[in-house]
Amino acid sequence: MTERAPLPYDFMPAVPSFTVESSDVADGQMMADAQVYNGFGMSGQNISPELRWHGFPAETKSFAVTCYDPDAPTGSGFWHMVLLDVPASVTELATGAVSGDQSGLPAGAFCVRNDYGSKDFGGAAPPAGDPPHRYVFAVHALDTDSLGVNSDISPAVAGFNLRFHTLARAVMIPVYGH
């Protein structure tokens, strides 16, 4: 593969940015086994990273938090996490909040099915020998309290709705390869 796929927001309307940070993953840095999938030939821990954000617009009414791999050899990328309806008062997700029983999720927040077929965080699992894949963690500041959808929609439908409600976006892109 000589050229990289575009990032998911390259062709979306431009929106202001704000800051997302993490104690578990860093922009441009290799992710640890904690954020690697346990399956697909991988033996990671499949734990969602801690994420915290600030500098979003004052009129933000809720957030969505997503993770997408544009480098997956699928023709459509790979959604690892789509978390919706995070209240505007929440500015951090603890390590593991979007994994397992998701007891660390804020009230009202929920995941839609990722491309592994589960409604949670699914860790990195690029094919062996591929250049390190990019994992686009994005926090979307939204102009609505709720997108008005349920957990049975696809990531594409979630993305469609996010397109029309995003006020600003924070992005961090760690990598993983083996």
Taking only the tens place, the pLDDT of each residue in 43-66 is 999 999 999 999 999 999 999 999
More confident residue, 100 or 23: 23
Best CA proximity match to 155, nearest among 90, 75, 68: 68
Per-residue confidence (pLDDT) for residue 19, from 0 to 100: 98
Binned at pLDDT 50, 70 and 90, residue 37 comes out as very high
CA 132 – CA 114 distance, rounded (Å): 20
Q: Which positions ≥6 away from 141 have C-beta within 8 Å?
A: 18, 56, 57, 60, 63, 166, 167, 168, 169, 170
Residues 55-109 have pLDDT tens digits of 999 999 999 999 999 999 998 999 999 999 999 999 999 999 999 999 999 999 9
Residue 160: pLDDT over 90? yes
